[in-house]
Amino acid sequence: MRSTIMLAAALLLTGPARAGLVVVELFQSQGCSSCPPANANLNAVAGRADLLPLSFAVTYWDRLGWPDRFASPAYTARQYDYAHAQGRQSVWTPQVYVNGRTTLVGPRPAEFAGAITAATPLPALPVSATAGQISLSAQGGGGDLWLVRYDPRQRDVAVRAGENAGRTLPHRNIVVQLVKLGRWNGAAARYALPAAPDAGLASALLLQAGQGGPIVAASRL
């Protein structure tokens, strides 16, 4: 058991050198007692250059007395979009999606590391960015184009109610803005970018095959 944990930790912290990104989306809440171990897994890989780890705080735990200040109905809707696209009606926390395809429960380090290692890195988008807009050059394929802004800094939150009352929970790569820029048909195109709510945020683009479909390309901006 100890060797398995150590191996998983090594995979989480380093990982193989690979071209392209693997997108890792964690759906979690500060009100969920099962989520801190999954947060720790995501925090461990937050700085990996070959991954795009994103932490989405959902809203449905807020009713238990601790409103998660990072939560948004848009993130809850995204989790349900994935479930419905895969023929399920229910969701859970912590829940992880890898490239919008593979789903798993988040707390198990070995399973988390294994899903990341098994995933095929996504191609990059042909994108260039200037002040307030992005330009995409012509490329085959297409899909829904999403802008994601997330905080790469560690955010420590002292939880005072709910299942994690009395704990201080560290978060990294918390998503603070999710905007659907539109449908891209693979032709050269430009998209205006909304203003970032915080100058310290990082940004990425996801190209997704329809509502709740797999992610087919991804790039940091």
Which pLDDT band, with edges at 50, 70 and 90, does 72 fall under?
Answer: very high
For the chain, the domain total comes to 1
Please give the average per-residue pLDDT across 111-128, as a whole number. 96
Secondary structure of residue 182 in the 3-state scheme: strand
Q: What percent of the chain clears pLDDT 90, i.e. is strictly above it? A: 85
pLDDT at residue 66 above 60? yes
Q: Quick: pLDDT tens for 129-187.
A: 988 999 999 988 889 999 999 999 999 999 999 999 999 999 999 999 999 999 999 99
Please give the average per-residue pLDDT across 76-94, as a whole number. 96
pLDDT mean across residues, the chain: 92
**pLDDT the model gives residue 116:** 96
Please give the average per-residue pLDDT across 85-89, as a whole number. 94
Domain of 191? 2-13+20-220
- Decide if 93 contacts 34 (C-beta within 8 A): yes
Residue 62, both tokens: 């807020």
Which pLDDT band, with edges at 50, 70 and 90, does 18 fall under?
Answer: low
Give the Cα separation of 191 and 203 in Å (integer): 14
Q: Quick: pLDDT tens for 195-212.
A: 999 999 999 999 999 999
**Which pTM was predicted?**
0.92
Q: Which of 95, 118, 117, 116 is nearest to 107 (CA)?
A: 95
Give the Cα separation of 32 and 38 in Å (integer): 11
Residue 196, both tokens: 């970032």
